[in-house]
Amino acid sequence: MGFELKILGANSAIPTTTRNTTSQLISINQSHYLIDCGEGTQIQMRKYRVKMQRIKAIFISHLHGDHFFGLIGLLNTMHLLGRQNELLIFCPPGLKEIINLQLKVADSKLNYKINFQELEFNDGKSHIYSDNIADVYTIPLDHRIPCNGFLFVEKPKNRRIKKELIDKLKIPVEQLPKIKEGVDFHREDGRVFQNEEITLPPRKSYSYAFCSDTRYNDRIVPLIENTDLLYHEATFTEAFRERAQQTYHSTARDAATIAEKAKVSKLLIGHYSARYKNFDQHLEEAREVFGNTELALDGHTFSSSDL
């Protein structure tokens, strides 16, 4: 239960022998959402014991290959493993055509429905998805081709009934859901127990912002302000700042500056250039600006207990 982020890949452009390209799995109260799907994502899921059939929706930021080349393989594997539930894919225009062409050429038909939701690229934050667990918004990024980030906002949780009072007050099971929603308990003998007496406050709800790929752009600051966890690309160190600008990417210091301005609780940096063997310099440069920074590395998990 609670919030958990699993890094399936955090490299940019190409995978290496130890690092995969971009993909992340968000789990909120056992609901699974996948962000981006670089090549080999399904192998990473096997490696890190991710239950791929539980994924409700996939969010693709943009159509550079290191963010979606793994999608057709994942979709086919879901089919071969017997998926029946509809899958939502939020994506840029063009991805539906790509996937359907791959299936057509291979004379393949999936035994589950894919519901493609094509995204727009707006200047502000746009609401794109909602279920009983979370709301999801797009965040406009500044990349060489149209690119969206994503903001996940967990919905407010219900109050928690004090377990010892359920038996003591003989609260009927059918009344528990209403009490969790804030209703007072009216017992058959006429006694009324105020909701605050028999419940605890709701647990905290969390928010997560995913920002990759993008040049430094502080226009996103008000859109992600006070987010609990921010992932911001940090493809380069300061030694390659000019290269970052040319390729519409950010440095670790850029990412940390956004985190500092947005007053987020924790920053994760990733989308590393394959030229780097380790990321000590990334971390050092980011922490000079924003102390609560961590590296996004393949297989690492960040949960609500870390925030």
What are the residue numbers of the active site?
A: 66
Tokens, residue 121: 């690229």
CB 162 within 8 A of CB 198: yes
Q: What is the dihedral of CA 265, 271, 276, 282, to 10 degrees?
A: -20
E strand intervals along 10-75: 23-28, 31-35, 55-59
Q: Which residue in 265, 174, 270 sits closest to 228, CA to CA?
A: 265
| Amino acid in the structure at residue 190 | G
| 176 to 10, 91, 256, 300: CA distances (angstroms) | 43, 39, 44, 37
257 - beta bridge partners?
Answer: none
Tokens, residue 25: 């799995």
Q: Which residue in 110, 50, 124 sits closest to 76, CA to CA?
A: 110
Beta strands at 199-200 and 160-161: parallel, antiparallel or unpaired? antiparallel
Question: In whole angstroms, what is the distance from residue 198 CA to residue 118 CA?
Answer: 46
Helix residue spans in 159-279 (DSSP H)? 163-168, 176-180, 195-198, 241-246, 252-262
| SS3 assignment, position 153 | strand
Helix axes 71-80, 95-105, angle to 10 degrees: 50
Tokens, residue 160: 């928690």
Question: In whole angstroms, what is the distance from residue 141 CA to residue 225 CA?
Answer: 15
35 - beta bridge partners?
Answer: 24, 59
CB 43 within 8 A of CB 97: no
